[in-house]
């Protein structure tokens, strides 16, 4: 199920979790609460590994991988899409291992941080936005893109639509990137699949662990917010370290949510809500079992992701790039209409236009993350 949700844009693990809860009476007759919970955590971790593939090859990002679209797309046009996949997967794996090793520290820190910093999270996010703006050469243009994106996010979240992130993030980071590529009419070169050694970035794993875990402490913060925070505090060494970091954040955000349930009795995402539905009292033994399921599924997922990426890499350069881009735009648009209706289509079109602004003003694409950061700042204020 994690492979299916990870590879299919717009289909999220929350849908599966909702079905599990809806049919829990029947499911409990044929299985056990711990088995179902292991299924949920394994699916969730698998999803966090596999969702990089549509982000790289289709430009259709999941929440945590939105910022990965542009650098990954550049690597695709350099024939290095498979490298982008592997680097992101390694970031997911090493950050997950580091997070699990740090569980004793988190058990102490989570309640402490939750009680002491909750009042100041809005001001910390405002400070982060100011840091982002001061990094830009044209601060007025950057502020304009940030403000427009933030206004978009506020409006979209007021629509009370199903899965609002899918059309908004696909437009801001996916469709707009494909439109920009179409204007320059590039060709997808043959994708290189080499047996080589990839660099590990310990600092990026630490930052992924820190920023990803924030999503499980504070309500309103998601994996995309964590990605915005993490990438600004990382001293990047280039595209590889950036992708390594983004890979780790999504997986840590999912895995650390179990600690939030255990220490704060708070369920921060659909997967943890499902687990708390089947197991009311999480103890250390259950935590160990669930994290064991996470480790096993991560090992299997990284192997499957590499093999799936190889298959796609061997096929993608045989397709006309212009035709491919138009097909992907049509595919994502169709999914948006099916999953979110006419309202989602309007959000997609508007988001795509706003997503073109950073290219026009020559600012960083990350300014578009204002669509998530500004609404959450208003939430905490």
Q: How far is it, in rounded angstroms, from Cα 86 to Cα 63?
A: 19
| Per-residue confidence (pLDDT) for residue 151, from 0 to 100 | 93
Looking at residue 60, its pLDDT comes to: 54
The total number of structural domains that make up the chain: 1
Q: What domain range includes position 254? A: 2-380
Two tokens at 195?
């047996």
Q: What is the pTM of this model?
A: 0.75
The single-letter DSSP state of residue 269 is S
Question: Which of 344, 318, 252 has the alpha carbon at shortest distance from 291?
Answer: 252
pLDDT of the chain, 381 residues: tens digit per residue: 899 888 876 567 877 887 888 888 898 899 999 999 999 999 999 988 888 887 777 665 555 555 556 677 778 878 888 888 998 899 899 989 998 998 888 888 888 887 777 777 778 778 777 876 776 778 888 899 889 999 998 999 888 887 787 888 888 877 887 787 777 666 777 788 877 788 888 888 888 888 788 777 765 566 655 666 666 655 456 778 878 888 888 888 888 888 888 887 777 677 888 888 898 888 889 999 999 999 999 999 999 999 999 888 888 777 777 787 788 788 888 888 887 889 999 999 999 999 899 888 888 777 787 887 888 788 877
CA dist 263 and 241 (Å) reads 32
C-beta separation of 46 from 270 below 8 A:
no
Q: What is the pLDDT of residue 93?
A: 92
- At 27 the three-state DSSP class reads helix
């Amino acid at each position: 199920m994690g492979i299916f949700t990870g590879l299919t844009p717009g289909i999220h693990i929350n849908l599966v979790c909702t079905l599990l809860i809806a049919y829990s009476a029947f499911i409990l007759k044929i299985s056990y609460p711990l088995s179902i919970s292991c299924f949920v955590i394994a699916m969730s971790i698998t999803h966090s590994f596999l969702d990089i593939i549509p982000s790289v090859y289709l430009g259709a990002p999941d929440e945590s991988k939105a910022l990965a679209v542009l650098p990954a797309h550049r690597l695709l046009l350099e024939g290095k899409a498979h490298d982008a996949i592997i680097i992101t997967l390694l970031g997911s794996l090493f950050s997950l291992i580091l997070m699990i090793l740090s569980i004793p520290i988190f058990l102490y820190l989570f309640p402490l941080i939750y009680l002491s910093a909750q009042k100041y999270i809005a001001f910390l996010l405002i400070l982060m936005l100011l840091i982002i703006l001061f990094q830009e050469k044209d601060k007025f243009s950057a502020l304009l893109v940030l403000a427009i994106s933030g206004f978009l996010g506020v409006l979209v979240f007021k629509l009370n639509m199903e899965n609002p992130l899918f059309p908004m993030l696909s437009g801001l980071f996916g469709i707009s990137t494909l439109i920009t590529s179409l204007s320059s009419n590039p060709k997808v070169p043959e994708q290189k699949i080499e047996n080589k050694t990839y660099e590990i970035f310990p600092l990026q794993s630490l930052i992924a662990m820190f920023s990803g875990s924030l999503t499980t402490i504070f309500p309103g913060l998601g994996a995309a917010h964590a990605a915005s925070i993490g990438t600004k505090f990382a001293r990047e060494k280039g595209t590889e370290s950036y992708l390594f970091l983004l890979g780790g954040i999504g997986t840590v955000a999912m895995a650390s949510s179990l600690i939030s349930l255990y220490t704060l009795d708070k369920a921060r995402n659909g997967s943890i809500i499902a687990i708390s539905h089947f197991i009311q009292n999480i103890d250390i033994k259950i935590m160990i079992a669930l994290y064991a399921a996470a480790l096993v599924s991560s090992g299997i997922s990284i192997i499957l992701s590499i093999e799936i990426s190889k298959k796609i890499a061997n096929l993608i350069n045989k397709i006309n790039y212009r035709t491919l881009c138009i097909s992907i735009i049509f595919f994502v648009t169709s999914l948006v209409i099916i999953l979110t209706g006419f309202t989602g289509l309007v959000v997609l079109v508007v988001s795509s236009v706003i997503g073109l602004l950073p290219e026009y003003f020559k600012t960083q694409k990350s300014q578009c993350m204002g669509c998530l950061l500004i609404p959450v700042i208003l939430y905490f204020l």
